[in-house]
Structures are given as C-alpha cells and as structure tokens.
Structure 1
Amino acid sequence: MPRKNELSEALRSQIVDLHKAGKGYKIIARTLDIHRNTVRDIVLKWKRFSTVATLPRSGRPRKTSAKTKISEQRGKATAVSSKDETTEQDRDFSTTHKDGKIIHSDSSRTQAADEENMAGPSDIRGGSSAHKMSDNIICSDGNTDSYSSDEDEEDPIASHLSAGDPDHEMHQGTTNSASSDDETTEEDPTEQFFCEEKKIYAGSSVTMGALLLLLLAFIVKHGLSKAASRDLLHLLNLVVPGCVPKSLRFLKKHSTDYNGKTEIHFYCPRCTNYLGVDPGNECSVCQQSLSRKYLILKAYYFLVMPLEIQLRNLLARVHSKLGKHFTRDDSFSDVHTGNEYKSERQDGSITLTFNCDGSPVFSSSKYSIWPILCTINELPYVERCKNVLLHTLWFGKGKPQVQSFLTPFINELQKLSAAGFCWKDEIGSEHHTTVTVKICTCDAIARAMVQNFEPFNKEFGCGFCYHKGEMVIKGRGFTRVYPIQMDGCDLRHMPETVQLAELVMGNSYDQSQMGVKGPSLLFLLPSFDIIKGFVPDYMHCFCLGVVRQFVNLWFDPLYASKDFHLTDEHLNDLDRALCEIQPPNEISRSPRSLSERMHWTACEWRAFALLYSPVILRNVLPAVYYKHWMLLPCALHVLLSHFATQDELNCAELCLVQFVAQIPSLYGLEHCSYDCHVLTHLTEGVRNWGLLWANSVFVFQDMNSRLLQMYSGTQSISLQIFKNFFSYEKIIRQGSATLQDASTEIKDFFCSMASCDRFTKSLNYIGEELVTLGSGSQRVLTPREIAALQKNETLSWCQPHCDSVTEYKRCVYKNMLVTSLECSGTLKRNNSVIETSSCIAVVESLVVVPKPCSCEGRPDCSCRELVFFCKQLQRLTRQPTIQDTQINTNIAKFLVK
C-alpha cells in the first residue's frame, strides 16, 4: 500500500547532504520547505540504517531470509537460462547454511557454554554470563551483523558524552528522542560568532574564552553527565544569553586536542589473543569468528593513546626543565644519580618509568581498571608528578591478559627507541629524541604477572633473588616465609632469566624453572633489564606491608601470651598520644587513632612508622622489641632523605638485614613474610636507580585515584576516563594562556577546580620562591623585635625603614607552608616550627619590611623583605641514644629532643 505524500529518494538524499554539510534541522526545513519533524526522521533513519531508501512501516530494514533471497534472484535473472538460474539459487542457499544457522533477531539472547574461560569483558553490559553470545552470533560479518541489525556502528570515543547519562542508560532502546535532543543542541547559531576575547556582556570582566575554560574545568572536575552538561549550558544562556554556545558538540570540539587520535585495540573474547586495531574476521589462535561491531558492543577492547603524540606536546612545554635536577657530589638522590642510569645514559634521548597496577572500580564487583602510566626520568621529581602520561587503559573483570595488554606499549617503544621522533620547542627549533624504558614500578602481584614469574607464595617466588622460601605452619594453615640465609642468596640476572625461560619453552616443562614460568613480553622491550629494571616498591612492602603487619601483630589477641603483645589499655594511651600530635601540612593526613587503623592509607602508615612511632612507642613496647623496631625507621629515614652517601646506604642496609634476621627469634619464623624479605633488596634498588622517593608508586597511585573520579554511571567507563583525562590535560595547559589577563578571583577559582596549585587564595609575591598568604595588617615593630634586628648584621638596614611594617599570618617558602605560632595554636596542624642552618626555632611573627630603593613610592614597587621573628629552641644535652653493637651506630640519631 503506497504512502501518502511520500518524498522522493532524491529529495531525501538532498536532506542528508545538507545535514552532512553541518546544517541544522530548522535551516534544512526552511530551505526545502519541509516540516522539521520529517527532516529529523529522515536524518535519524539515515544515521541508523545508512540508507535513504523507503523503509517498511516497522521503521527498520526488512530481514531477508534465504528463501526470500532465492525468490528475489529468480525475479532478477530473467535473461538467464533456467539451468543457470537453478545453479545460482542452489549456490546461494548452500552458502547461507555454510556461514552458520539462519540467525533470527532474538538470537542475541543465546548463551554460550564455551565462554566460561573467557577473559572478562571490558564493559558491564557484556560482563554478565546471561549476556554472553554463542559462536554463531559472532560469525556474522560485513553488512549482515545479525546480532544487531538495527544498530549502526558508532565510534565509542565520539559518543562518550552519552556515557553516564541516566536517560541514556534507562532508555537505550528509544534512540529517537535522545538523538533529537542531541541534534537540537547542534543548531546553536552562536557557534559561528564565538570569540574567546569577546566579553560575555558589555561591562563584564569575563571573556567568552575564560568562561568556556571554567565551564570545561567544572564539567571534568565534577564528572557531569551528558544531561547535566546540557542543562548547565541552557542555564548559563538563560542568565546571560549568548555567553557560550549551547551545543555539546562545541564543548567536545574544545575539550581536547586528541580527538580522532585514540586507538582502539581488540582482543579475542575466547582466548584473549591480541587482535590489534583491525580484528579481522577470525582469531589466528583459536579460529574464533569475529566481528568488529560485536567486539565494540561487548567492549572486548582497550584504549591506547600513542606516546609520541603526548611526548611531542609535553616536551614542547617542559624541555627547558629536562636535566635540571639538584645534585650533590658523591651522593644518591634522584633517578639520574643511580649507577644503572649513569652507565646507560645517552645524549638526545629520554628514559621512562612505567607502572601497570590495577585499581578496583566498584566495591561490589571484580571490575577494575589497569592503566599503563609513564613519567620522564629526566624531569625533576615535582615536574614528573605534574606530567604523568597515560598510554593504555584496560577495563574489565579481573586482570588483563599480559600478552594483549602490553603489546601496543612494547610495539611503540620499539619504534621510538630505534627511530625516535621529532618535535619543536616554543621558539620553533626542531629536535630529534629517542625514547627507552628503564624502570617499572608495581606491586608484587603485578610484578610477577608481567615478568612471568611465580608469585611470592610459591617456590622461588622472589623476582630479585633465588631465595626458595620455606613452608611453615601459621595458625590453622601454612605460609611461605623468607628468613635470612646464613650463606647468602644469589641475585637474579637478565641473561640467566632468558636461559631459564628458553629452557621451559624448549622442553615444554609443565613447571617453572627457578621461579621462571616462561618468556616475558618485556624481553622485547628495548634496553630494558627485566630484573634490574624492576624497583622494589616501598609503598607496598613497607607502608602497607611490614608496618601494618607488625602493628596488627602487637594488638592481635591470639598472641596475648607473648611479650610483644599490647593490651587495650596500651591502645587507648597510644590513641590519645596520636590525636594530640599536630603535624605540619607536608604530612598529607592528620593522625587518626590506632583503633581506626583498618582504614588507614599508605601515607598514614608511613607517617606512623617514621614520625610518630619512635616517640609514642618508647615507653610502651618492651625495650628489646622497641630497639628492634627502631632499626626500621632508622633505615628508611636514610633511604627517603634528599641525599644519601654510600656509607649511609651501607648503614641502612645493615639495619634492614638485622631487622629481618631478628624476626624469627623475637616474633617467630612464621612472621618472616615476603614483605620483610623485600626490605633487604631496597638498598640495591637505590644504588641502581636513586632513592626510594624517586621511584615511588605514590605518584601513580594518586593518578589511579584521579582516574577513578573521571567517570559517572556504569556505562562506557573506560571511554569516559580516557576522554576526561586528556580534557583535563588540555585545560591545565590552556589555563595560563587563556586567563593571563583575567582577574585574581577567576584565576583562584580556576586553580581550585583544576587543582593546579596547592594554595589558591590571594597571593602576595615577595621573592622567587616566597609568597605571603591572605591580607596583611599594618603595625609598628615592638622593642624586642627592634633589638633582634640590631643584633642581626644582615638585617641592620631594616631599622631605619621600620616605622610601619605589614604583618602576615602565613607564607609559602619553597612549597612549604610556614605560619606564626598564633595561627597554629588553634589548628590541628602546626606549621610554625622551622629548622634553619643553625638551629630549630618557633616562628612568632612574619613581617614585610620595605627595602631602601629609588622607586619614589610607586604603587608597583616590590622592593621589600620578609622577616621571620623566631624563638630558638634549645636542644637537651642528652639526646635519645640506642646503640646497636652489631651495626656500631646510634639508630635513634634522627630523633631530636
């Protein structure tokens, strides 16, 4: 039955062509004199079915069965003989059955019994076993994808704004209304007149560019969904019409420079074999039939942003800071002071540290993200923390398959190591740089996984040496322990590891050889040593390992009869002592009671072990156990210092060895855990690659925490995180340029949302690394302060200019917050105690004194000096001393009383 007023196919094609040219529904309807709803329906059907031909009344293309195909071919082959026609029909019919059974529209609900051993998919929509599909569903190809005949293959990166939208999640099937809303937002004519330098309204101090930057920072920080972002745009335009285009497409265009550069890498749903960016039609390992559309739908992929693109942008901004480490002769400090780094350093190249630890996404499921994060070793530590690179992001159940997960990373590093890449600095000069990976930091579980070694609870489970370990009874079960061996233990080396891996592969052994299970993909990483390249991570083995283990052991009621046991009364005393401590702002978390230690983070365990426990445990633990415990903070104070000499490293190594060696006699052999054993390898890692803070996992764990805040809802999590990460990176990069002439309030608000500066209040710059915070108050110096100036020869010039000074309560000196005693007295933190080159003192007041100059009172005069008036603290003549005869040193020398 023909339809009334049906538009011709040529007219429908013209509508689509105008839409492709960027015209909105209103403009197309006005130009062709067609109702707007008709234009919208035609465009939506073209988007979904890639055709402008007349569709059935059901709204979707007809499903063509085998019999229908045969009958259509009979009708078309009128010029062919009946014999040839029959042959053609038979061939078509047999081909249909050869590809698989005839697939109907409801076959997507079929479950597959052979997918129980699959790696977990990367999307919750495909994670449930009730949604897994059988083999005959995957075998569709080309334009005959039977599992979703009414869905087009959308670019998941382009549609990231739909992720996390509650309307999108609840009504995925009803795409007409959602698409209509999207297209409505794309019709905003103000896009053509957008100018970053233009004020949002006459008389305003805010430009359109500044408002757009603040808007993007707000959306990224709070993880707004598509619906929330759209409503925010409408709200702003209701308050100030035309202040910013209302199109989400416009926001997407300005949110990142990496649009279209993200790579989607696929892996096989059955055997997790790496398929690359083009999965093809069949897996080369298990012969599983594949479809790109199905792999995208069920999220059997992970995302990759090439390092070359990121490095080119990063080096253009920070190239002047490369190699600007602060050094001291004959001392270990940052990565560049390590022996391994210095032996392989090459001019015109940069080296990377990478991390590949997983982080759980939900507390109620096993889904997690596994990013590959990189930092540039040639940058100073502070700059490395600010410029972390994200190469790969995998999301799914459990752990990724290493072969698939690491392949894109290794392939790109092979290219960057051999050929390098070219980039231009800020003045246009071209440079050529090669890139190699030298260090990998991760926890013990991830380390064994990527090395292809046995885990630490198996024989030869240490990835640094050939310690076999011992199985002993612990409680109702058994555990593997690693006590100190009297005859020593040989360290692992790269050539031996390669030989053991070849031995396992060549003889087809079912068991590992000396802890090596087989070849590792990291063997293919250029200039990377699979043994020395892994650095023991003190965050996991010390903070979350040994420290937590022994504190829990002291309060464990199972050991109530032991001498080291601490009672509830001891616990209450320690809780009170901890809560009375006022640490400075450099300690990220204020102390919490030991009763809440189950919720402590790694930073809190580190602060307890190094700063609090040497003081509060002195009269609580029995003397022999306290002396044993002090070996640990004594060693870590050296390994975490700014600089350490070779002699200091040797002393720290002896402390750690003694700590581990005394555990069996004091606590029992069963408590000599793998984390305790790794302590003995810390100093070797320091000699190779610098002090512990230089290769800490803290910076990567902090980045993982930020990544977990970059999504909303439960759909397309990896896509949301990837998009928001690079949007955030562009926002930070553009902030200084766009807001250069903006007001202080706008800059402070931007910094607070972008977290690009620790202090965002009004600043008053006194020197290069010295600023005051807040508004000062005018006063005159007291006689006591004037007398102090007279005694100080370097500040004698101040006295004639001290009729009126400006007093401040707080300042920041070299990224350290310093406050007066009056300001710190009422707070949980105390930043008033400082250490100078000659003494330890308490800051009583901070005043700014004008310098003698010839500025003649100009308002822009900056000739002034910040003076600290302090009260010196006198050290007691008797300092804490704990002499260890075996080490021949005072292990309490870091304490000051």
Structure 2
Amino acid sequence: MANGHYAHFGLREGIEFSLRSYFYNYPNEVKFDISVDGLPLAKSSSSQFWPIMGSVVSDCYTDPFVIGIFHGMKKPADVNEFLRPLVDELKHLQQEGFVIDNKNIKVTLNAIIADAPAKAFVTQVKGHTGYFGCSKCIQEGDFLQNRVIFPEVNSTERTDESFRLKQHPEHHIGNTCLEKLKIGMVSQVPLDYAHLTCLGCLKRLIQRWVKGKRDVRLQENTQNSINASLIVLRPFITSEFARLPRSLHEIDRWKATELRQFLLYTGPVVLRNLLPVKYYEHFVVLSVAIRILADPEYCTVLIDYAQSLLTWFVSNYGSLYGHQFLSYNVHNLVHLCNDVRKFGPVDNFSSFKYENNMQKIKNQLRTSGKPLEQIFPDTDCVSEVSACWLRISDNKAQCWWPERSKNVASLISSCSPPVESKWVLYNVEIERYCSNLDKARKVAGNPTYTSTDDELLGRGKRITMPQQDQSTSDEESTDPGISVGRPPSMPTVNESVMNKSATLIGQSLLVLNNNHETLPPNSVGKKTFFFALYVYSLDCLSTQ
C-alpha cells in the first residue's frame, strides 16, 4: 500500500476455525461481525496497526479472529485499497458460500463495529466533529464555544437507501467499496456503546465532577468519601469483573470495563447521598436505561421505556452541564435503542471483545522492528514447530499456534502440546521432511540447504550443538538410525504424527520426520543426542 504494508490472513479461515471450535452441528447460515480500529504500537513513535477482525454471531461467546492487518505510521491512505481484499473475498463467499465437512455454509455479514473515527473512515462520511457528522440522522450541528454540538433529539433519521443514493451529499466525503456488499450502510453499522456511553458520556461526566467548573465540581471531602467507598468495595468484586474499582482521581486512566462497572453496578451505590440530587437522578436515568438495553429480556419488553429515559437524559444534559457539551456522543444516545431493536442487547454489537483481542495482537510483538512480520502467519515468517501442533484431516493440514508468541521458542524446543483453548489454528501445507531440529532450522533459513553445506558454512550456525559422545558423519542425519525421506502424499492423523516435529515457513511447513524405533536403546533422553531430545514427545522421554 501507499503508506504502509497490509497482510490478509483470510475471512473463510477465521469463520471455519470458529465453527469447528464453537459448534457441534454446523448451521446452514453463518452470520459474522467485522470490527476495524487503530492500534498504536509504541509511545515513542507513530507506528500503528489497523487490524480488521471478525467474529461469528452465536448465542454463546466467540473469540474474534484476525482477517487482515495494516501497518504504517498513520492510517491507510486509501480506504478502498485497505478494504479491497476483504470485500473481494466476502463477495465470493456471499455468492458461493463455502464447504466444511461436506456441508455448504452460507455466509452473511451481520454488522460493522467500530468507534466513531474508524466508522467514519471505512464508510467515507464526515467525522464526529463535522456539522453533518451524525451517522443516524440528518441533523446539522451548531458551532458553540469552539465545538460542534447536536442539540436536537427528534431529527429525521437516515436510511440505507438515502445513504446509497447519497441524498445528503454534505454527509459524504467519498465512496467506499463496502457499498458493493449486500449490507445496509446505516442499519448495519451500529453505535458502539463501549466508546459512546462508557468512554464517551460517562467518562466526561465523572471528569466534570472531579475537575470541572466550580458549579459542577464536587468538594474535596465528597470526592474522598466516594473514593473510600469504591476502595471498600474491592474485596467484594467477583471474578466476573475484569478490574477492581479505582479512585476517581485516576479517571483519566479508567478503562471501558471499569466505566461499565461504575455505570451499572457500583456508581448508583457510592454516589447516593453524596452527589447532588439533580446530578444523581440524571446519572441514575442513564444507568437504568443502559441496564435495560444490556439485558436480553428487558431490552425487548422495556425498549420504549429505555428510549424515553435516554431522550430525557439528553434533553436535560445541557441545562445541567452546559449546552456546549451536547457532543456527538451525548446526542447519539437517542439513536442507541434503534440498534438494540435490530441486534439485541448492546453487548451483541459492542467493541469490548475486539479491544481485548487487539491487546493480544500487540502482546505478540517482541521487538519494535518489523511488527507485521511478527504476527503469525506471514509469508516471510520462519519458525520451527512441533508436529504435535499439526491437525490433518481430509487431505488438509492445519497447525496450532500460541496466541502469545514471546515464549514460542521454548514451546517448540520442549515439544509442548498445544493448548487448544488458547491457541489459534491456521491452514498450512506440508512441504518437506527433515531429520532433526538443527537441520530444520537451517532449512528454514535457507530452503535450498543440504547437508553438504555444512562443509562450507560449518555446523551449528543457528544454535549451539552439544558435544557428541562419539563421532558422527556429515550425512543427512546425525545418527545412522534415522531414516529421512519426502512422503509421497499427505499423512493422515495417527499417533506417529504426534511424535514428529516441524518447521513452519508462513503458509508452508517443514516436517521433521524420525523413526524412533531404530534409535540406539540408550540414546533416548540423553542430551548428547540433540535430535532425540527435541524430536521425541514428552511421553517418550518420561519413560526413560
């Protein structure tokens, strides 16, 4: 791309992995969500990821998967170039579907989930600070005290057809290739309450209570009482909550999950009799409305009541805190119920799990250089793996890979079995068999490597080999009992496959084959036999 690099991992692969992980009986139709957001990689530079993530819609929780990642010093210069691999693949899947275990699966895009800046970027509309920035209604904002505000609560709503026909050209800044898909660019791009309500409205409210103007700011002793109450609650917070309550003085560093906890659980308790009545009632109205919209049952039977509460909250916001604070986030609370009517509870279309997954992506980086190449799988990434990480069925090879790859070398060296609940499964191709880990690493660095290269390059250039008890030849194997050869076809899943090792090169796999039955009886488990120590499974070593 013009200002960075993009790696496309594939939409079908992610959907298929989710189906195999979470479904016993595959459905005829699979719905999935897409999330796009920016991810800063360092504080000292502008290096950033823009991942495209997906998640299968299900009654149970499903982990997000990565569809593609862009890396650059700023966001992609051309959104259509950024989204084209996804759009092309999705168009094909929408038309043809795909087959898994002899069953044809229909694929449907359910929603595009993003915060306000990312949503404006991928849909090519005015941003949240623009006069026509609201994505749900045609209201023109007003400029008040150096900011754009949206004071109306009953403006005419936008429709998918009006977006497609561009009936309001002042709202658009360009064309997006997402319009080529069979989706509603208004109805299927919902508001994200994690950013809208928690990080937007609620965080600003608390900041005004703590360090706002004198007529709104709480006295120091009142703040201390609230902080003390929050700290007292810490031992009683159950494990279902990701974080414990913190002082209001740290509000600038509160995460969205902490704000959600305060809004729905701790806030109404600790603020009672401490926050002035008019502000407390205003806050409780927001808390009750979001509580209704977050409940699977209440969001259906009390949706109209929640709508009236949010309309009242927005209508009275200006008189309590100032009309100059009727921002994009505050205004869009009146549109949140429409998305709940279409998608269900707000957690069905929130970005919480995608934000969590982005941190997992970031944790895979070990150094600041070449971050995209460190995200597995990549066509230029080389890493040896244990063949117990392989899963082969229907002439198709897949490989497990740890989510956090900082200790991947030790996992490979020790032939650690995959932790399927935490690792990711990728499609691979078996390309070549090797005799031991040392040779596999050499072949990974140079695909044309042969054993005769050791005469010129010397042994152990990639790792230090232990001293052998007896002299060995420079042939294909360090032990004459090892038999090596390229298999005529893809092996099937059996016990012998679980006792092999492999080297992964992006989408290709170098398999280290060994016939351990021909090894000398006293060789297993001895450090002098490097290949035996690393190639044998843990079960074999434990018997010695």
The TM-score normalised by the length of structure 2 is 0.68
Residues 1:754 and 1:449: Cα distance change in structure 2 (over 3 Å): same
> Counterpart in 2 of 1:363?
43
Separation of aligned partners in 2, 1:653 and 1:726: 54
Alignment of 1:676 with 2:330, yes or no, is: yes
Q: Secondary structure at the match of 1:659?
A: helix
**Relative to 1, partners in 2 of residues 1:408 and 1:537: Cα closer, same or farther, differing over 3 Å?**
same
Which residues of structure 1 form unaligned runs of 5+?
Answer: 1-266, 270-299, 324-347, 425-429, 502-511, 739-745, 758-897
SS of aligned partner of 2:239? coil
Residues 1:572 and 2:224 are matched in the alignment: yes
- Give the structure 1 partner of residue 526 of structure 2: none
- Provide, for residues 307-336 of structure 1, a one-character-per-residue CA deviation record: whole Å limited to 9, x for no partner: 22343444344442656xxxxxxxxxxxxx
Alignment partner of 1:691 is 2:345: yes
SS in 2 for 1:662: helix
- Corresponding residue number in structure 1 for 2:199: 544
Aligned to 1:483: 151
Are residues 1:534 and 2:199 paired? no
Note if contact 1:500-1:518 (Cα within 8 Å) is conserved in structure 2.
Answer: no
Q: Distance in 1 between matches of 2:105 and 2:320?
A: 54
Report how far residue 417 of structure 1 moved.
Answer: 0.7
Amino acid at match of 1:417: Q
The partner residue of 2:86 within 396, 402, 409 is 409
- Letter paired with 2:156: D
**Deviation of 1:518 (Å):** 2.9
SS in 1 for 2:108: strand
For the residues of structure 2 that align with 1:683 and 1:635, how far apart are their CA atoms? 10
Contact 1:610 1:636 in 2 (8 A): yes
Aligned to 2:109: 437
Work out which of the residue numbers 125, 141, 148 in structure 2 matches 1:453.
125
Q: Which of 607, 622, 633 matches 2:261?
A: 607
CA distance in 1, matches of 2:333, 2:44: 34
- TM-superposed CA distance for 1:519, in Å, is 2.1
Q: Secondary structure, in 3 states, of the residue corresponding to 1:529?
A: coil
Distance between the aligned counterparts of 1:731 and 1:662, measured in 2? 62
| 3-state SS in 1 of match to 2:32 | strand
Instruction: Work out whether 1:651 is the aligned partner of 2:275.
Output: no
Instruction: State the partner residue of 1:395.
Output: 71
The match for 1:308 among 12, 15, 21 is: 12
Residue pair 2:15, 2:56 contacting (<8 A) in 1 also: no
Q: Residue type matched to 1:521 in 2? A: C
Contact 1:316 1:423 in 2 (8 A): no
**In the alignment, which residue of structure 2 is the partner of 1:381?**
60
Code of the aligned partner of 1:406: L
Structure 2 unaligned segments of length 5 or more: list them: 392-398, 401-410, 424-544
Deviations 1:805-863 (A, max 9, x none): xxxxxxxxxxxxxxxxxxxxxxxxxxxxxxxxxxxxxxxxxxxxxxxxxxxxxxxxxxx
1:645-695 C-alpha deviation (Å, 9 max, x unpaired): 533111111111100000121121011111111111111001011110111
Please state whether the residue corresponding to 2:221 is helix, strand or coil: helix
Tell me how far apart the structure 2 counterparts of residues 416 and 499 of structure 1 sit (CA, whole Å): 26
Shift in alpha-carbon separation, 1:554–1:751, aligned structure 2, 3 A: farther
Q: Using the alignment, how far apart are the partners of 2:202 and 2:320 within structure 1?
A: 16
For residue 627 of structure 1, the aligned residue among 273, 278, 281 is 281
Q: Is the 8 A contact 1:732 1:754 kept in 2?
A: no
Question: 1:444 is matched by which residue type in structure 2?
Answer: A
Shift of 1:363: 0.8
Task: Give the Cα separation in 2 of the matches to 1:687 and 1:674.
Answer: 21
Aligned residue for 2:302, secondary structure, equals: helix
SS at match of 1:681: helix
The one-letter code sitting in structure 1 at the alignment partner of 2:197 is F
Q: What residue is the counterpart of 2:475 in the other structure?
A: none
Change (3 A) 1:362 1:732: farther
CA contact (8 A) 2:51 2:69 kept: yes
For these two proteins, the number of residue pairs brought into alignment is 396
Q: Deviations over 1:511-538 (max 9, x none)?
A: x82312232221112x211111111101
Counterparts of 1:373 and 1:732 in 2: how far apart (Å)? 24
- Residues 553-575 of structure 1 show CA distances to partners (whole Å, capped at 9, x for unaligned) of 11225x11x1x320211111111
Contact 1:305 1:391 in 2 (8 A): yes
Amino acid of the structure 2 residue aligned with 1:381 = C
Quick one: distance in 1 between partners of 2:110 and 2:240? 30
Query: Secondary structure of the equivalent of 1:711?
Result: coil
Match of 2:100 in 1: 423
Change in CA separation of 1:752 and 1:655 when aligned onto 2, cut-off 3 Å: farther
| One of 179, 185, 195 as aligned partner of 1:523 | 179
Among residues 320, 339, 363, which one is paired with 2:24 in the alignment?
Answer: 320
Q: State which structure, 1 or 2, has the greater radius of gyration over its C-alpha atoms.
A: 1
Letter of the 2:224 partner, please give it: N
Q: Secondary structure at the match of 2:143?
A: strand
Residue identity over aligned pairs, in percent, reads 25
Partner of residue 58, structure 1 = none
- Name the aligned partner's letter for residue 227 of structure 2: D
Cα RMSD for the two superposed structures: 2.8
C-alpha distance after superposition, 1:568-599 (max 9, x if no partner)? 11111111111000211111111111112221
Give the residue type in structure 1 aligned to 2:225.
Answer: D
SS in 2 for 1:375: strand
**Which residue does the alignment assign to 1:144?**
none
Show CA shifts across 1:364-403 (max 9, x none): 11111111111111x3332x13xx2211111111111211
Residue 194 (structure 1) aligns with = none
Counterparts of 1:196-215 in structure 2, within 5 Å, are: none
On the 8 A contact 1:708/1:721 being kept in 2, the answer is no
Partners of 2:257 and 2:298 lie apart in 1 by: 22
Q: Is the 8 A contact 1:393 1:722 kept in 2?
A: no
- Does structure 2 conserve the Cα–Cα contact (< 8 Å) formed by 1:321 and 1:380? no
Decide whether aligned partners of structure 1 residues 499 and 720 sit closer, same or farther in structure 2, where only a CA change above 3 A counts.
same
SS in 1 for 2:109: strand
Alignment of 1:325-340 (within 5 A): none
Q: Aligned pair in 2 of structure 1 residues 647, 361: CA closer, same or farther (>3 Å)?
A: same
Which of 22, 26, 30 aligns to 1:350? It is 30
Match of 2:170 in 1: 514
Which amino acid counterpart does residue 159 of structure 2 have in structure 1?
H
Structure 2 vs 1, CA of residues 733 and 439 (structure 1 numbering), >3 Å: closer, same or farther?
farther
Residue 723 (structure 1) shift: 3.0
Contact 1:465/1:490 (CA < 8 Å) preserved in 2?
A: yes
Structure 2 SS opposite 1:373: strand
The answer to whether residue 268 in structure 2 is matched with residue 592 in structure 1 is: no
